[in-house]
Every structure is written in C-alpha cells, then in structure tokens.
Structure 1
Amino acid sequence: MNPDAINRTSSETQMSQPRLFRFAPSPNGPLHLGHALSALINRKRADETGGRLLLRIEDIDTTRCRPEHEEAIFRDLDWLGIGWETPVRRQSEHFDAYRNALMRLDAMNLVTRSVASRREIREAAARAAAAGNPWPRDPDGAPLFPGDAAILDDAEIRRRLQDEPQALRLDTKAALARLGDAPRWHETGFGYDQEILADPLGWGDVVLARKEIPTSYLLSVVVDDALQDIDEVVRGRDLYHATSIHRLLQELLGLPAPDYRHHRLILDEEGRKLSKSIASTGLASLREAGATPADIREIIGFEN
C-alpha cells in the first residue's frame, strides 16, 4: 500500500456520497448492553441522514480476539435488527496500513522507543504516591509514562533495547510543536454542536505500537476511519478524551477529521462502565433468559 493513499480530504468523499458511520467492536468477549446502545445509535444516525452503516472488527489483539466472539457479534446485531454493509473490515488483515502510518510518523522524528512495562510504570507511580509525590495521570486515570530513565537504570535500558522488543510511542510534545496549534474537533454529543479544543498533552507519550502488536487502538482507528471514509464517529463518552490523540494523529498524517458524537454510557449498579466480564449484561445471556430486542431497547432507554 502506498503510504500516501490515506491522504484525502473530507470534501472529496462527502460531495456525492451518503454519510458513513461505523460500529467497531472487538471480538474479545460477548457484546453487552453498552454495545447495544452504541450500535443502535449508529444505526439510527445512518437512517436519519440517509447514510450507510459499516461494521469493523477491531481485532488487533490477536491473542485475545476469537472467531467465536466475532460470530457472536454477528448473531447479536442480527437479533437486534441492526443491518450492516459487507464486506466487514477486520483490522488483523490490515497491519501493513498501520505500519505505513507508523513509518510516516517515524520519518517525522516523532516516534520513540521505550522498554518499561505498564506494570513497572504502575509500580513506580505507587511508590511515588506512597512517598507523598502524586504521579500525573491521563484522563482515564492511568499513570503517565515518565520516560524509561525515570524507572530503569541506564544499563537495564541498554540491555532491553538490545535484547527485547520495544513499545513505540508518540513524542506528543514534539508532535504538537510540529503542528503549532492544538487541533479541534466537531462534537455533536451531549446536546453540543461546537468545536472542542484537543488536549493531547494530557495523555503524555502514548503507545503507537505495542511490543507484541505492530499497532495500537489509537493509531489503527484513525487509519481505518480515513480508509473507510467515515463521516461521523458515534461512540461512548468513555472515548471522548481520547479524541484529542485521534485528532493529533489525523493532523500529523494528513487525514480527514470526521464529526464526533459521544453518547451516554450504560453503567452497572455501582456506577461503573459495563465490562464484557459481566455476564448478566451480555446480550446473548439476556436473549437466552427470554429477553426480546424490544426489551433491550427499553432497558437501555433507547427510542427509535
């Protein structure tokens, strides 16, 4: 694939085509009520605008994603009455596209290598907090990466760089400096209709490719949205802040910026976002217990 093939402007695709939407689950477990809400809102938005709904399988984590979970996604969506276009895009079939995007960022001197693990970063943050030194955290609450030198000694860093796989991270400060100004995005969720100023520095130096996976969610999703000409990204508000990094990567790679609509989440009894590990909220479990698609719509408060 030509690395420049994803350089296109939104005007090239919006003039004569209906708006494109996508529902993009990961096949690493059963869909739950939160997925149902997102899929139904995407379908509704496509219908309201005379648009099209695509299905993307985000399976870059080939160690956790399973074909049986993908088949279950198809069954659940079909049961809910949600149609989608074919062919379905599977991220695991497009690693070359993500490598090309990564190479372009590397050519801009915006990619750094790191060897510290997430566990080591968490442990360093815990030690700092115990000593009365609160560690900076990203919008999701995870401790920010401080640089390998803040956690490991020089000899250990050199050894790991020579002998072990490394994570590839975006030098976020340098990336923002290259642009000059922070990008914005058009947000229509929460009753908004406004331009939101991105804050990518709040995420620190994010991972673009993991040690065991040649990409990351942050990178692959912006490449896919561009390649699929997605006009409006409809997803849960848990990804609202991540849009800052998505917009930064889009600007760096010369990709079009879709509109964003972040919707409410379905929470458990303790106010937490639903997890695929909570079987009681799984669509298949609810179906087997006798629930109907109409029941699901009522439970999640979805109105056609």
Structure 2
Amino acid sequence: MVRKLHLKSQLVMRVMTDAECLKTFESKLVPELNRLLERKIDTSVSQTDLRNSMSYSVLAGGKRLRPLLTLAVLSVHGVNIDADSLQIAGALELLHTYSLIHDDLPAMDNDDLRRGKPTNHVKFGAGMATLAGDGLLTLAFDWLSSAPISAEKRIELVSALSIAAGPRGMVSGQATDIVGVNKDYNFEELRNLHLRKTGALIHYAVEAGCILSDLKAAEKESLLIFADSFGLAFQIYDDINDVVGSEEKLGKRVHVDASQHKNTYPSLLGMEGSYKALSTAIDNGKQALVNLGQQTGVDYQLLTSFFSYFDVSGE
C-alpha cells in the first residue's frame, strides 16, 4: 500500500512556480515573435538602408514583455495564438522599438548603448535612426489595419493604440518628463507621468488582448487594473536599476537619470521607499487578478507570473 501511494505521488504533476510559468511561455512564443518580426519587416520595407536600420533595433533582443502580455491574455482565455494574433502583438513591439530609437536620439536622452549594442543613431546616424523610428511607428498601424480580423476589432485596436502612443499617452508622458528636468514632482505627479510615458503601452498590451478575447467590460476593467499596476512596477524597477544595476546586466548605461536631473522614484522616495512602492504596485496587481479569478473561475497564473520579472529583495 505504501509502495502504491509512493508511485502515485510521483505521477502528480508539480505545480510550476510563477517564474517557471513565465519562462515556459517566453520560451515558446518569443522565438515565434522574433521569426515573424524578422520575416515581415524584410517584406514590408523596400529601401535597404532603412530596412537594415529598422531591423537592427527590432531584432537586437529585448524581453518582448508587451506583446507577450497581449498573447498571455489570449492564452488564459483559451484563444488560439496563431499568425494573426502574433502579427497584432508584433505591431506593438514595432511601436515600442520606435519609441526607444527616438528616446535614445541626441535631441532626447543621447544614449549610445541599448540592449548591449550601439544605439541606432550611433550605428546608422541620427537622420536614418529618426526615419527608422518613423517607419516602425507607421508600420505598426499598417500591421494592425491589415490584420485578418473583423473591421470592428481592427478599428478598436487602431484607436486604442493611437491613444496609448500619442499625445494623450506615451508622447504626452515623454513631454512631461522633458519639461520636468530640474523640477521636483511629487509622487502623484510622477505616477501620472509614468502612467503615460511607460504605462500606456503596457495598458494597451492588455487592452488588445481583451479586445481580441471578446471580454466583458467588468473583466476588462479588472485586467486593466493589473496592467496599470504592472506598468507602475516596471517603471519603479527601471528607476531602481538605474541606481543599483550594472551596464553589463542591463545592456545600457546606468546612473543616467541622476546625471540628467530627471524625476525618479529613488530621487523622490529613496531606495527603501522605492522598493516599498514596487512591492505595493506588485501586490495591487496580483490582488486584482485574485479578485477577478474568484469572480470568473479563470486561472490567471500566467498573468501573475509576469510579476516574477521583478526582484523586490532590495539587495
């Protein structure tokens, strides 16, 4: 009897940790996303130098967190992830990469390293880098508007991304960041800045998954609370890493924010306060998913697992 119980226990599947859950999801879908991005950029851009510049930044690496969030929303709701959904998720990565190229330009942050490689303007010149960003921005909407889904969903996606990326979202946040140099924002002002600058595309990533999954308004609202909590945590964590991280680990210059007199969470809250704010944002996002799971019966571990990206040890 003991022998049988022992054998039975060995057959029980071990529950994956959040970190394992995210890694498994990434290992399956990141290669598929990368193949799609490489193939479609190659066939979408006719001018060789422009294509090389656009491909250079898109294919330089990156976590692909934003498109993965869209695909994760589909996955937890049992929606098949196919070439069409990969194209829609890939469009967001194009737009995100455009923002990085422009953010690195001499007229903006003047960074010379991104993802462990020379930034686009260092490699191709500021003019071509500007055009590469322009090309990725507009190509993102090309991919959305040509996706083989219903016209209603295409319009909804294009509208949502326009809001997230434009003067009501990311661009507005970037402008507030620029004019805030040498000013002192309070916590709410800084949070609102980053809800637009960083959080808007993360908000859209989850919103796109909700649109494609045909979710009801109440479930969508709860998932967007998760998205905004994740976006806030992402920015706090990025600010912390600019203080304690290394160039080798992050693939970009560190200690940049302080040298440019930018408003950051460590400069406002100190390191201990920043880690506490990070933990609070993570807890809020997780609780939103717990509450939603109790209402819907859906297993949201895959979405919860995205929080395993953050190290909240403070060490």
For the criterion TM > 0.5, the same-fold answer is no
Give the number of the structure with larger relative contact order, counting CA–CA contacts within 8 Å between residues 6 or more apart: 1
Q: Which has the larger share of helix?
A: 2
TM-score, with length taken from structure 2 = 0.25
